Each structure stands twice: as structure tokens, then as C-alpha cells.
Amino acid sequence: MGDIEYLHAEDRHFVSMYERAETDPEMRAALDAMPGDSAKYRVFVHHEGDDETPQLMSVQFDPGDYIEPHAHRVDEIMVVLDGEARFGRRVFARGSSVFIPAGTLYAFTAGPEGATILNFRPVRDTGAIWRDRTKRGLSVT
């Protein structure tokens, strides 16, 4: 049996991906692989996760931020906490959630007010597979 991990709301502090990469080699490698301006967002990691424990983070996007098509090696659930996220023609407002299976290629744009998204993954996954590096057979959302 493991220890319970607590995180208090007053400890919540968002940092840019660039700040995070200064102390996290995995994040540095992930940033180096990102196309364009995909890393403009800010992250607050609730629980880092590892190969056996879940990862939970809040991510803030500015109005109109576009995240290039990519996939992850693990399933993820995204919950829109504030603003909205646009996946193609579909608009997901505050309170909406999206389940994205592992290996599914997707992109999204933050709405006109920006977006804050809660992102859950069953294990730590800091990288992405960008569209130009994906293998055949990935679905597109």
C-alpha cells in the first residue's frame, strides 16, 4: 500500500513549458520535438505520475492557441475547466470532457476566451507523437 499524495489549492502555480524544461530533461526533449508554437501554454502538475501511477495536470491556453496534430502513447481524458476547446468543428465548453485513446491523432484550438483544461493520463507521458512522425494506422480526430 502506498502513501496518499495531497496537493493544496494554494500550492497551485502555473509555469510555462519552457520554465519546466529547465529542470525536467524529459520535458526538454519533448519541447525540442514540438513543431511551431505548440508550447506556448502553461502547466500546473497536480501529480507527476510515473510508469505505474497516474498523471494529472491543468493546462492553460491563451485565446486562439493551436495545438498541432499529435498523439500520445497512452489514453487521456481532458476536461474543460474554463473557456472552450475546439476540435475541428466541435466546440467543447466548460464542463465538457473528451476521451482520447492512445495513438489517436488529434489537434485543437483554444476558444476566444482561451481555455484551461484538466488532463488525466493513467501513467506519466510527457512526450507526443507529432503528425509528421506518426505511423500508419493512427486515427484522426
- Give the tens place of pLDDT for each residue, 87-127: 999 999 999 999 999 999 999 999 999 999 999 999 999 88
Alpha helices by DSSP H, 56-106: none
Query: CB under 8 Å to 52, separation ≥6 — which residues?
Result: 123
Region 71-88: mean pLDDT is 96
* Lowest-pLDDT choice from 31-35, 51-55, 56-60: 31-35
What's the pLDDT tens digit per position in 6-34?
888 787 778 877 787 788 787 777 777 77
Instruction: Give pTM, 2 decimals.
Output: 0.80
C-alpha 83/C-alpha 47 separation (Å) is 23
Q: Identify which of 63, 88, 93 has the alpha carbon closest to the alpha carbon of residue 78.
A: 93
**Three-state SS at 24:** coil
- How much is the pLDDT for 139? 46
pLDDT of 86 > 90? The answer is yes
pLDDT of 70 > 80? The answer is yes
**DSSP label at residue 88:** T
Of all residues in the chain, the percent with pLDDT exceeding 70 is 88
C-alpha 115/C-alpha 98 separation (Å) is 14
Distances (CA, A) of 44 to 29, 59, 92: 19, 6, 21
- How much is the pLDDT for 37? 63
Q: What domains are there in the chain, each with its CATH number?
A: 12-133 (2.60.120.10)
